[in-house]
């Protein structure tokens, strides 16, 4: 027979005089006690929030076992809290997800304060709906309402935690997300610059005092690459002789080798960088952010305040499609895994629908055979 302090975070049992968990260093402020009784090969485990109750239960359980009054098959493992599942999820996410840091931010900001200490079976669909409503009415630190995408991220993450808890054998109960509808998003936001805006941006970049920041924006305009792809770009990935660059682990998945224009290569030749990275951050290390420089350049060029840096990628694609480049080629240059993602630009293809309509008329009109053609067939 034994009574131990139980750590809900790492699920370990320790002596009663321990003040903090030796494994995860969690301080035992509100102690939970694990009672384990073994008699004649029969073992029963129970959990209590009070040491006095734990000691009384220990004696009672032993007596019940001896009399044969106790059903040993009763469930002994407590249902984990969301925080307990999260502590197991985070190491897994770091190994399997590139955007695990987004999950960490969302969990700490939105899910942990609401549900972190609750057991999985204590979180209802109504609780989740309340969170949705609170976020819709809430304001971010930037003073703006939360977007539908932000709300959806919380629901997707919460659903993933429940599903993995089931897969890992931590929980076998109900998932409240099964009865919660996800927000519907319209992600087909296509941004591009007018000719005047593009000219102003180029003039601004040509005279911008920080040549590295100007080159970063110019290279994006000429290639349409994602910001994260440029952060990882090294000089070893650039082949000036062949006019190619290697994009490692893009959003679409596999490493790809893409051709780039002479203008894009000229931007790189103009750089005087002593770092393995083409666009390094502080002390030559990999850059992780470009928000500040972009805001200053955007303002100096007089671009709309809601024009995102990612809009440069859309402008690259829109310019190609508007000038007759096939959508399949644009898909390859943008490393889109799904062709449907590239379809947002289809309406920009000059005269494509009109040409198809005119061609359909020709194809569907019965051909009238001339007298010579009729005699030839005979």
Q: Is 109 domain-assigned?
A: yes
Q: What is the CA radius of gyration of the chain?
A: 31
Determine the pLDDT at residue 145: 86
Instruction: Select the more confidently predicted residue: 171 or 371.
Output: 171
Q: How far apart are CA 212 and CA 246, in angstroms?
A: 20
How is residue 264 annotated by DSSP?
H
Structure tokens at 114: 């609401």
Domain match, 170 and 41 both: no
| Residue at a domain's end among 20, 44, 67 | 67
Percent of the chain with pLDDT over 70: 85
Q: How far apart are CA 108 and CA 111, in angstroms?
A: 6
**Cβ contacts of residue 165 below 8 Å, gap of 6+?**
80, 85, 120, 171
Q: Is 146 domain-assigned?
A: yes
Specify burial of residue 80 (Cβ count, 10 A radius: 0-12, 13-18, 19+).
buried
Full-prediction pTM beyond 0.75?
Answer: no
Q: How far apart are CA 215 and CA 88, in angstroms?
A: 42
- b/e burial code for range 317-347 (CB count within 10 A of at least 16 → b): bbbbbeeeeebeebbebbbbeeeeebebbee
The angle at the Cα of 232, spanning 228 to 237, to the nearest 5 degrees, equals 130
Q: How far apart are CA 378 and CA 302, in angstroms?
A: 73
3-state secondary structure of 310: coil
Q: Report the number of distinct structural domains present in the chain.
A: 3
Q: Given the structure tokens 């059903």, which residue do they identify?
A: 71
Determine the pLDDT at residue 147: 85
Q: How far apart are CA 142 and CA 318, in angstroms?
A: 30
CATH code at position 210? 1.10.443.10
pLDDT tens-place string over residues 232-244: 999 999 999 999 9
Q: What pairs with residue 37 in β-bridges?
A: 44
CATH code at position 152? 1.10.150
| Residue at a domain's end among 179, 209, 236 | 179
Q: Is 365 domain-assigned?
A: no
- Number of CB atoms found within 10 A of residue 89's CB: 21
Q: Is 205 domain-assigned?
A: yes
Domain span at 50: 2-67
pLDDT tens-place string over residues 78-98: 889 999 999 999 999 998 887
pLDDT tens-place string over residues 276-290: 999 999 888 999 899
Q: Is 190 domain-assigned?
A: no
Determine the pLDDT at residue 87: 95
Domain match, 229 and 321 both: yes
pLDDT tens-place string over residues 335-367: 887 777 777 776 665 665 566 666 667 777 776
Query: Is the backbone of residue 265 left (phi > 0), alpha (psi -120 to 50) or beta?
Result: alpha
Distances (CA, A) of 275 to 203, 208, 219, 278, 279: 28, 22, 18, 7, 8
Domain match, 320 and 224 both: yes
3-state secondary structure of 221: helix
């Amino acid at each position: 027979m034994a009574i131990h302090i139980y750590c809900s975070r790492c699920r370990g049992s320790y002596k009663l005089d321990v003040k903090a968990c030796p494994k995860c260093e969690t301080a035992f402020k509100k102690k939970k006690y694990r009672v384990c009784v073994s008699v004649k090969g029969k073992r029963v485990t129970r959990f209590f929030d009070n040491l006095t109750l734990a000691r009384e239960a220990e004696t009672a359980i032993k007596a019940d076992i001896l009399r044969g009054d106790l059903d040993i098959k009763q469930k002994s493992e407590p249902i984990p809290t969301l925080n307990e599942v999260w502590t197991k999820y985070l190491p897994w996410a770091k190994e399997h997800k590139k955007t695990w840091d987004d999950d960490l931010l969302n969990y700490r900001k939105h899910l942990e304060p609401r549900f972190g200490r609750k057991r999985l079976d204590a979180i209802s669909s109504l609780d989740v709906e309340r969170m949705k409503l609170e976020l819709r009415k809430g304001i971010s630190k930037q003073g703006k309402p939360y977007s539908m995408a932000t709300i959806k991220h919380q629901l997707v993450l919460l659903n993933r935690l429940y599903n993995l808890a089931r897969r890992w054998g931590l929980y076998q109960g109900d998932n409240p997300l099964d009865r919660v509808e996800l927000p519907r998003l319209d992600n087909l936001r296509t941004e591009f610059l007018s000719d005047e805006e593009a000219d102003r941006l180029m003039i601004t970049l040509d005279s911008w005092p920080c040549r590295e920041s100007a080159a970063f924006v110019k290279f994006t305009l000429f290639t349409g690459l994602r910001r994260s792809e440029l952060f990882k770009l090294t000089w070893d990935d650039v082949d000036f002789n062949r006019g190619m660059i290697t994009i490692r682990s893009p959003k679409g998945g596999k490493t790809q080798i893409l051709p780039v224009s002479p203008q894009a290569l000229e931007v790189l030749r103009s750089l005087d960088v002593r770092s393995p990275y083409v666009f390094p951050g502080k002390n030559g290390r990999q850059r992780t952010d470009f928000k500040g420089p972009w805001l200053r350049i955007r303002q100096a060029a007089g671009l709309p305040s809601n024009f995102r840096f990612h809009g440069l990628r859309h402008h690259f694609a829109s310019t190609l499609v508007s000038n007759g480049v096939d959508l399949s080629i644009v898909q390859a240059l943008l490393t889109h895994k799904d062709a449907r993602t590239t379809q947002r630009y289809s309406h920009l293809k000059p005269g494509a629908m009109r040409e198809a309509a005119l061609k359909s008329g020709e194809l569907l009109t019965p051909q009238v055979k001339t007298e010579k053609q009729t005699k030839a067939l005979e």
